[in-house]
Amino acid sequence: MQLSKREHWKPKPQQTSKMDRLKDKFREKSSALRTELRSLIKEHGDKTVGDVKLGQVFGGMRGVKSMIWETSNLDAMEGIRFRGYTIPELREKLPKFQGGKEPQPEGLFWLMLVDEIPTQEDVEWLSDEWERRSEIPDHTFSVLNTLSADTHPMTQFSIAIASLQSNSVFARRYASGMSKLDYWDATYEDAMNLIACLPRIAAYIYRRTYHKGEHIEPDHSLDWAGNYAHMLGCSDQEDFKKLMRLYLTIHADHEGGNASAHTVHLVGSTLSDAYLSFASGMNSLAGPLHGLANQEVIKWVFEMLDSLGTETPSKEQIAQYVNDTLAAGKVIPGYGHAVLRQPDPRFTAQRIFAEEYIPDSNLVQTIWKIFDVVPPILQGLGKVKNPWPNVDAHSGAILCHYGLTEYSYYTVLFGVSRALGVLAALCWSRALGFPLERPKSVTSEWIKEFIKSNS
């Protein structure tokens, strides 16, 4: 057989928009930074930015500076800043949907990608652009339909994302011989297309799993988050849409070292496209020490309420249940963090929302009582570095109020949001020409020899 006649995998060609104000801005900013960083690395590449201790080698690499992540930065005491802005600042400065109070995730994506607060018009453009790109291939729905309804929603989500990969612009252009300098362009197209498709896919998974496959058609007049809320079909729709705008903003990014972001970065460094990289990141988010903690929190709270036989437990009852959980050798879900050493501002943002919209909810009030009870108990153990609540401690109670009680689904919501940060960061990794990630591992034998020769 002739070489050229051999069967060769070719994804379908796709149309891309010629007028793209966000892409034009990204091109300009990223090419300037790329040039600047090249000369910075040439001149300062030998400087040391930190030492690695043996405890860090065994301890999950906490604090080891080893990656560039442009879109956000995490401070142990202050929490997350997205391009320098705290969550309260984002709530104030990012454009809102039709005069509402909550920021639109579109605005945060714009900010993370090009380091500028967008105008209202920019955000409307981006909403329309994602709407234009949101067509989902039939085979993705077919793939989902073949999965048994008891397949965990995160597994369904990951499979659906991987099934979209046949649309990858990056994979198609790479297969036909793309220049390295164009990697960012194809990645940008994939990131925009993938983000555009996520609400519909995620809502489809929810409705097929919990609502007998009775799907709700998208509402093309809505924004990205509002349309997702609409397709989920929860009660008190207007407030639920507001919640989703906030939720999908605050979960979007948490610098690069967290497990899901780092997974996307690592897999992406092999030049796997955005679909494969993001699906991998979602498999990482699905672990109970990471994103799945949002499901674990509310499950643990419901089990506590069932075992106490009340919907309004006292702080003393909660303290006893917390101690029992710890005595059984389990963690308190929603508490602790690998980096943070204060209450997570994402917890606080949700608390402020709940104080305004649903202060009388028994479940929400239980979350607030748990907040009063758990930190001193964890502190008393003497080993927990951060006794404070993280983002996952609050979300379930608010979602339950709006009728989204199926907690096995919660990590999918987190994942839809997380796409914004990790895919904006992947565009930067491609634009800045980051290489294949390949740290050094050592054996425990090597460590013992190292200690011997250094003592």
Catalytic residue numbers read 290, 337, 392
Pick between residue 192 and residue 248 the one whose CB is nearest to ligand CMX.
Answer: 248
- Between the alpha carbon of residue 428 and those of residues 69, 83, 105, the distances in Å are 8, 13, 19
DSSP 354: H
Nearest alpha-carbon partner for 67 in 262, 285, 252: 262
Cβ within 8 Å of residue 1, ≥6 positions away: none
Is 336 a binding residue for ligand CMX by CB under 6 A? The answer is yes
Classify 112 as helix, strand or coil. Answer: helix
Interface map 315-334 toward ligand CMX (x if CB under 6 A)? ----------------xxxx
Interface map 101-130 toward ligand CMX (x if CB under 6 A)? ------------------------------
Residue reference for tokens 């710890």: 326
CA distance 68 to 58: 22
Contact set for ligand CMX, span 275-314 (CB under 6 A): 289-291, 293
Binding residue for ligand CMX, selected from 338, 363, 400, 420, defined by CB under 6 A: 338
Smallest separation (angstroms) from ligand CMX to the CB of 273: 25
Token pair, residue 415, equals 């994942």
Pick between residue 154 and residue 384 the one whose CB is nearest to ligand CMX.
Answer: 384
Nearest alpha-carbon partner for 132 in 252, 18, 213, 229: 18
Pick between residue 178 and residue 331 the one whose CB is nearest to ligand CMX.
Answer: 331
Pick between residue 127 and residue 258 the one whose CB is nearest to ligand CMX.
Answer: 258
- Between the alpha carbon of residue 24 and those of residues 71, 113, 181, the distances in Å are 18, 11, 15
| Other C-beta atoms lying within 10 Å of the C-beta of residue 396 | 27
Residue type, 254: H
Binding residue for ligand CMX, selected from 24, 385, 447, 451, defined by CB under 6 A: 385
Is 255 a binding residue for ligand CMX by CB under 6 A? The answer is no
Is 251 a binding residue for ligand CMX by CB under 6 A? The answer is no
Pick between residue 91 and residue 290 the one whose CB is nearest to ligand CMX.
Answer: 290
Smallest separation (angstroms) from ligand CMX to the CB of 335: 4
Classify residue 207 by burial, with Cβ atoms within 10 Å: 0-12, 13-18, 19+.
Answer: middle
Binding residue for ligand CMX, selected from 158, 390, 395, 429, defined by CB under 6 A: 390
Is 340 a binding residue for ligand CMX by CB under 6 A? The answer is no
Beta bridge partners of 96: 103
DSSP 334: T
Is 383 a binding residue for ligand CMX by CB under 6 A? The answer is yes
Smallest separation (angstroms) from ligand CMX to the CB of 180: 33
Smallest separation (angstroms) from ligand CMX to the CB of 381: 7
Residues that bind ligand CMX (CB under 6 A): 258, 289-291, 293, 331-338, 378, 383-386, 390-392
